[in-house]
Chains A and B, each alone.
Chain A
Amino acid sequence: MRTRTEILAALGVDGGSGRSLPEQLCVACTTTLGLDGAGIALMTDAGHQGVLGTYGEVATRLEDLQYELGEGPSVDASRRNGPALHAELTAGEMSLWPGFGPAAWAAGVRAVFALPLQVGAVRLGSLCLYRSTAGHLDEDGTATALAYADAALAVLLFLHAQVSPGSALHPTLREPLDYRAEVHQATGFLSVQASVGLTEALLLLRAHAFASDRSLVEVARDVLAGRTRIPFVSTEREDD
């Protein structure tokens, strides 16, 4: 088992790789726990806000997909303020995540474990572990995974402490948001156009991106440029 202190101490040593601290943590976590990849996502009460760091090709793709769809284990873990542990991807997972589930299966993932990064009720992110073999983490593995989540949270707070006080964001934390700035702009834009709230506006964008098989940020750019009109009138909310 590794402790949070050991994990953080090891991160400092890996100076020359050019990887950000969150990426280094994903690498270490993947190696130590014998995974196929890992990812750290930024979360707020409004949901997924971007991918902070990943390791492994499949994890990178699936972390992006969780953002695109607004669904998946990382989103669940953050929303419920507790771990989302899926030792075996079954039909249950396929219906739980209609978009993410089949994509994860097709990419060869058989188990996913997502842990929330939070302090009290303050949600900041999720650490998600991807493995190509089914099966539970053993006791030692679970303790180590939790220690990595603790360490990931410490990294987030450490990064923020570098710029705090004030409302500035550390470049590492700002970059994933900046990359998707248009998504938020298009959300605001659509909320006026469709006279709906921001949450629904984002749902409309996501639905359109999914239906047209394009990324959220591409659709957002098109909406802002007037190249795409979202047929919001026809979209009824089903969750009322």
Chain B
Amino acid sequence: MNPKKTFPKGGVHPEENKLSSDKPIITFPIPKQVIIPLGQCLGAPAEAIVKKGDEVKVGQLIGTAKGFISANVHSSVSGKVSKVDEVMDHTGYRKPAIFIDVEGDEWLEGIDTSDKLVGEITLSREEIIERVRSHGIVGMGGATFPTSVKLSIPKDKKAEFVIINAAECEPYLTCDNRLLLEKPHEFLVGVKILMKAVDAPKAIVGIETNKIEAAKLLDNIVKGDEYYHGIEIQPLQTKYPQGGEKQLIKACTGREIPSGKLPIETGCVVVNVASTFAIYEAVQKNKPLISRVVTVTGKSVKNPSNFLVRIGTPSTELIEAVGGLPENTTNIINGGPMMGKSVSVNDFPVIKGTSGILLMTDKEAQPRKVGNCLRCGKCINACPMGLEPFLLCRLSKNNFFEETEAERIMDCIECGSCEFTCPANIPLLDYIRYGKNKTGQIIRSRNQK
């Protein structure tokens, strides 16, 4: 294996707390009713093509993508559509969703449900991208960007590397780690498919050293089989945000994405582990994205676990399965503790981007007293993008959006390292997100003119 690498600037190292890293993935029982939101990806929500009373099978298309940046939605269960209505998502706002009452487990014809490994890639480049698009695959790390858009490389660019984000730098989350340990062959075939899809000669799998077991396992497989030629396992230092797209490319290839540009500018395509596995299932087994691995964890949780869950399963059932909501739980976080969002309702459906559900008690999530800025500069040291978070915070607070643009607020990756390290507990990221949102609006309206 290569010596371990890292990104050069900034970053923090929060307590890892990978409580469920040795818990095997359990296939979660199919719930009685699933709620499948139509907006599960970045961009426009899908349009429902089923109506109340329709019979659906597992894998059936129930929502079609609307627009270029949008993804298809498939039924994750078989049964009857009970209603097409709105459901409260984790923000508390109502979004359109399809409610399905489960009856049996009948799969659509043509889907291979066996566990057999299919290594040979028979589809062509275009067919692979079309399959990824039609099967509704999105970035499953949390950003939920449609993967087919990522794989459609502009004519004047060329992909040199496929980079697999197996860093899983978020504390607590272990779903990618478990997937690598339990389905390494399937994962590596997925990488081969990606290499074929973007016509890249080389793939780098970046893994943090706290998952050295998985890294060694993959390395042995790759070295022992000529079929996996071109795939390289790259250990990375355990540091947050190692899995950030820009940081990962910098660590793995030494290249830097220019400000405001996409990763393809450096010849890289970055895909998440869970997405790679989903691509394998879509291309080799014709299985749409209807299930994902979710880590349900927390320090006070009785039995932190990794579940293979059908999309649309209510979060309450998952919490029940790990021993119920612990006493004094004040925060339920959708995702990891750094990038995840604290939810305002505790009953929300699992969607394609739900990588984890983290439960925190009042002691862990105690609100800390917000002080004044000490000008200590810790946030500047922590920022992996080389920005000045304290300045951006202050400018955003006072609505100086021309200055925030000049100070490159749009380069912020919203990793939260600054807020994590701030000794005065200032909600830096909140203000920066607000400023970024407003600055983005200004830039977009200017470009339209």
The answer to whether A and B come from one shared complex is no
Residues of B whose CB lies within 8 Å of any CB of A are none
